């Protein structure tokens, strides 16, 4: 956890977004981007603005663990409400038993994926209800729409596409899905600037990423967004801090960091190289702890070299650096 200037970066999407979930599967899209994808986009935009030499110097700083800036994964926001992933291992049934969460059926608790950041960091000071995949205060049930009981980010839609066989000229229809955000909804992420001399450059790279687009089918105009930087703060850790939750993917750099993961999920990250020199070339797969993983102490993570064999134009990296937030004293976890 660095001590640099902290920003909440709001991404207001001006075009639909497609985030692929599996290779060659086009009719499924995720609604948010992991930190490795976001960092890859920022670094590539930085390269477009400032050239290879400056970019190599920036990447080398990450490899040497002198982090010029840090980011989290993207997370949803609706209006002025900012959500974070539910910590893996958070004992919501115990909060229900103590009257903090009201549900009609216990199975509703299993649907919770996102919690308001300020509720989690203050250990749920009010009364709450489950609304779809969100946990929100009772008095907010009708805040997000005329008849909606849950926050709505937008809708998944599909476009019909046609592929033409080069040899036979036969056609094949397939469907390409994308997510359209509502006007008052989008994604946000944390940006911590540790090297103040790079602040303007990093912000410029993020703005350019918004013009270039994030995710798949950018050449068709998908993934474009406008960005807004809001300076903010985060609760300070203290001697009573017992748990840290990751808001990013984490690839542990040591066995001690692996052992410190108390509640976790593991994701496999793969895909194609995102650069002018690497179109259509797959990078090596790597595994990482998912967002919401709870650690018993601070971890750093690492940058992993995923350059495939026979690819010599440049090195390819997957950013698995941790972005942690301290959980409040008294937070109730499963088994504790």
Place of tokens 């010599």: 312
Whether residues 195 and 275 fall in one domain = no
Range of the domain at 203: 1-79+164-234
The pTM score is: 0.90
Whether residues 272 and 329 fall in one domain = yes
Distance CA 130, CA 136 (A): 7
Nearest to 230 by CA among 273, 269, 180, 191: 191
Q: What is the pLDDT of residue 195?
A: 93
Residues near 203 by beta carbon (within 8 Å), at least 6 away in sequence: 229
The string of pLDDT tens digits covering residues 98-110 is: 999 988 888 889 8
Contact criterion met (CB below 8 Å) for 230 and 43: no
Boundary residue ending a domain (152, 182, 203): 152
Contact criterion met (CB below 8 Å) for 291 and 305: no
158 within domain boundaries: no
Distance CA 300, CA 42 (A): 20
Among 80-89, 113-122, 165-174, 207-216, name the one with the lowest average pLDDT: 165-174
CATH number where 227 lies: 3.30.70
Number of domains in the chain: 3
Whether residues 64 and 181 fall in one domain = yes
Whether residues 185 and 121 fall in one domain = no
Whether residues 74 and 173 fall in one domain = yes
The string of pLDDT tens digits covering residues 215-242 is: 887 888 888 999 999 999 887 777 788 9
């Amino acid at each position: 956890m660095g001590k640099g200037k902290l920003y909440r970066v709001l991404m207001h999407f001006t075009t639909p977004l497609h985030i692929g979930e599996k290779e060659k599967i086009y009719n499924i899209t995720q609604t948010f981007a992991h930190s490795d994808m976001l960092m890859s986009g920022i670094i590539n935009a930085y390269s477009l603005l400032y050239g290879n030499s400056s970019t190599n110097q920036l990447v080398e700083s990450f490899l040497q663990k002198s982090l010029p800036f840090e980011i989290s994964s993207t997370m949803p926001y609706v209006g002025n409400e900012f959500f974070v992933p539910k910590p893996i291992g958070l004992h919501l049934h115990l909060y229900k038993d103590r009257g903090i969460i009201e549900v009609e059926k216990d199975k509703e608790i299993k649907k919770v994926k996102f919690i308001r950041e300020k509720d989690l960091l203050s250990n749920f000071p009010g009364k709450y209800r489950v609304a779809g995949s969100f946990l929100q205060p009772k008095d907010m049930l009708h805040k997000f729409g005329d008849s909606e009981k849950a926050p709505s980010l937008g809708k998944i839609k599909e476009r019909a596409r046609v592929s033409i066989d080069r040899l036979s000229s036969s056609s094949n229809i397939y469907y390409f899905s994308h997510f359209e955000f509502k006007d008052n909804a989008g994604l946000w992420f944390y940006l911590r600037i540790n090297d103040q001399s790079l602040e303007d450059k990093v912000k410029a790279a993020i703005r350019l990423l918004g013009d270039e687009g994030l995710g798949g089918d950018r050449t068709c105009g998908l993934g474009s967004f406008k960005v807004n930087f809001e300076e903010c703060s985060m609760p300070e850790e203290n001697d009573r801090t017992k748990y840290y939750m990751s808001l990013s993917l984490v690839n542990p750099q040591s066995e001690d960091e692996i052992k410190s993961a108390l509640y976790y999920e593991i994701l496999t990250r793969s895909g194609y190289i995102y650069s002018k020199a690497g179109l259509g070339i797959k990078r090596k797969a790597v595994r990482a702890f998912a967002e919401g993983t709870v650690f018993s102490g601070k971890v750093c993570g690492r940058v992993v070299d995923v350059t495939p064999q026979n690819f010599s134009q440049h090195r390819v990296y997957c950013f698995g650096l941790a972005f942690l937030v301290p959980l409040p004293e008294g937070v109730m976890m499963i088994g504790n």
